[in-house]
Amino acid sequence: MKTEAVEFLSGGDTVRGDLYLPEGSGPFPTIVMAGGWCYVKELRQPDYAKEFVANGFAALIFDYRRLGASEGEPRQHLDPWDQIEDYKNAISFLETLPVVDADRIGAWGISYSGGHVLILGATDPRVKCVVSNVPVVDGWETMWRAQGSVKFRELRNTILEDRRNRFVKGEYGYLAMSAETYEVLSTWPFEEVTTGFEELKRTQAPAHEHHSTIASTELLMDYTVFPYVKRLVDTPTLMVVAEEDDITMWDLELQAFNDITTPTKRRVVLPKTTHMTLYSDVSALEVAAKVAARWFDEHLKQPLTFERLLEG
């Protein structure tokens, strides 16, 4: 497997990524990949990319603007619509590469980006196939459930105070991604998120920063995939959910899956698995990666043509 460092512009900022290539000269069907909340490109995504490359795909993993190796200010500001735009600009970049088959580009996402790729597939016709893992599908409902009513009140008050402060001082406030105790306000108030990401930062993703702007959480609470999934009319879509996921809420994920219009869709429920299991348990990750690779192999390896339709 070959890896090339690449960069492209998105929103006027330089976005940096790693392009993974299989053996051969191409052009290859290619998967565009990015991570979830506060992810950097080294965080677990290469494990999936290696599986895709082993199956003959190229894969591009990139850091969103304002995160990791990419440029942009304010740092650690997560705007989901900018991130979806980064995906689209990544595709535009891929279209310029002779090694990429521009007619066979698929999108992969996990957690926050699991929702992004559903919206991406619904709004960008260049995406020919989608894989969404444990996606965030409705930020308001997810935050209310995750925080509980009392903490949700505190979160909303913190967001409002931050908005007023930004207006007066022009400064962004910051909030922990998660914390060791529920008493400390954070976006994702789960101890296993803290321990899991601490280990990932130590072992594979030192560029990960475990906080974001408070405005990022405000934007999360305005985020929903539901108006878009009905527009996935003819894009093959796989959704992988975890049976015990109470972080991004697997019942909400299945509601979104049911609203996807295309009949070429599949849901895979990983038994006895939580959201963080896909980060901490390599065997669960391998299953999710192999299922995704099989889906891409079935729906992206060969472009849809009249001849293929005649073949059935």
Structure tokens at 20: 């993974």
CB 1 within 8 A of CB 50: yes
Cα R_g (the chain), whole angstroms: 19
pLDDT value, residue 306: 56
Instruction: Give CATH superfamily name and number for 2-137+225-311.
Output: Alpha/Beta hydrolase fold, catalytic domain (3.40.50.1820)
| Selection from 118, 92, 114 nearest residue 105 by Cα | 92
Reported as type and span, the H/E element at residue 266 is strand 265-270
Domain boundaries, the chain: 2-137+225-311
> What does DSSP assign to residue 139?
H
Give, for 14, the enclosing helix (H) or strand (E). Answer: strand 13-21
Q: Are 242 and 276 in contact (CB under 8 A)?
A: no
What are the pLDDT tens digits along the chain (312 aa)? 899 999 999 999 999 999 999 999 889 999 999 999 999 999 999 999 999 999 999 999 999 999 999 999 999 999 999 999 999 999 999 999 999 999 999 999 999 999 999 999 999 999 999 999 999 999 999 999 999 999 999 999 999 999 999 999 999 999 999 998 889 999 999 999 999 999 999 999 999 999 999 999 999 999 999 999 999 999 999 999 999 999 999 999 999 999 999 999 999 999 999 999 888 888 899 999 999 999 999 999 876 665 655 665
Distance in angstroms (rounded) separating the CA atoms of residues 253 and 137: 6
Residues contacting residue 161 through CB under 8 Å, at least 6 positions apart: none
CB-neighbour burial class of residue 195 (10 A; exposed 0-12, middle 13-18, buried 19+): middle
Gap between the Cα atoms of 92 and 4, Å rounded: 17
SS3 state at 87: helix
What is residue 279's predicted lDDT score, i.e. its pLDDT? 87
42 in Cβ contact with 32 (< 8 Å)? no
Quick one: how far is CA 116 from the chain centroid? 6
Single-letter amino acid code for the residue at 67: L
Report DSSP letters for 100-165, one per residue.
EEEEEEEEEEETHHHHHHHHHHHH-TTEEEEEEES---BHHHHHHHHHHHHHHHHHHHHHHHHHHH
Coil, strand, or helix at residue 274?
coil
How far is C-alpha 137 from the geometric centre of its chain's CA atoms? 11
Asked if residues 206 and 35 have their Cβ atoms less than 8 Å apart, the reply is no
